[in-house]
Amino acid sequence: MLRATLAAIAILITAAPAAHAVERTRLGFGNLLTNDIIDGGADRWRTGSYTSSRVWGPTWTGVAPEGFGDLLELRIQGEIISPENIRTPDAGDRLYAGALSVGVHTHMQRGAMEYAVGGDLVFVGPQTGLDGFQAALHDLLNISEPSDAVRDAQIDNTIRPTLVVEAGRSIQLGDRSTLRPFVEGRAGAETLARIGVDWTFGSLGQGELLAREPVAGQRYRVITQDWTGYSFTLGADLAYVDSSVFLPDDRGPALDSTRERVRAGIMWQGESGFSSFAGVTYLGEEFEGQDEGQFVGSFKIRLGF
């Protein structure tokens, strides 16, 4: 089913017209790896994810086009969520879950407002094979792997269509400083409303297309320019959470209705085209009984060839 979904989305991107005919070419690629290895090396809670984006559209002019569907992003993500102890978790800890999502998003700018609207199909449960992947990887690295009991009790197989909408506005505070307040809504695998802000100091990232990684909220470069140097980023957001497939009403702990994130990062790009990003995010408690938040790191390296 996942293969058929990918094929259908590829056909949609290459063949489906927008409100008016648009000739699209591939404009960029971006990805981001997020992992909790910086948080004491313990695989727990939002333990790891990988997000990848490919974008097609008309010629990039430094801002997204006005038309809905003119610029299309194919986004793929895999994520593993686990209890604090993947061998013998406490009775009140969250359940193990693997999730794979694939979707199409469109980016547009109308006046000063920037919009990202899209939909994902989120595949959850043993059908993703992510529990087996983590077990094999941990066995290769000679570290603890999820126990059979943890894997057997994981979130059941399901498929959740998910709508995602973000609206933001970039406010220039000077030649090298940008403040971007935003609001976001999600409905599906997780249903929530979020308000936040991102601040960037530095030229890197200006005139580029950045997408938001869902777990940490870090923004990663998808359409890039030939800048060189550094940029620093700070961000924070607060969400009201109505429901989550990863914290079901009938199993495991109850979800916390508020969720906060605080993040920082640094981007660098050299004259050869080699670039990198490293960021850290604090994730607040997500369920009742979680005694503390956690830190996750986000990483990206792009070679210049």
The owner of tokens 């994981």 is 154
Give the domain CATH number at 117: 2.40.128.140
Mean pLDDT by 10 residues, the chain (305 residues): 46 45 86 89 89 95 93 98 94 96 97 96 97 89 89 96 97 91 98 97 88 97 88 97 96 96 94 88 96 95 71
Question: What is the pLDDT at residue 41?
Answer: 65
Residue 78 domain boundaries: 2-302
Question: What is the pLDDT at residue 304?
Answer: 59
The total number of structural domains in the chain stands at: 1
Question: What is the pLDDT at residue 110?
Answer: 95
Residue type, 221: R
Coil/strand/helix, residue 103:
strand
Residue 14 has which token pair?
A: 């290459």
Distance of CA 199 to the CA centre of its chain: 18
Contact between 106 and 166 (Cβ < 8 Å): no
Contact between 189 and 245 (Cβ < 8 Å): yes
Question: What is the pLDDT at residue 139?
Answer: 82
pTM: 0.89
CA distance 26 to 99: 27
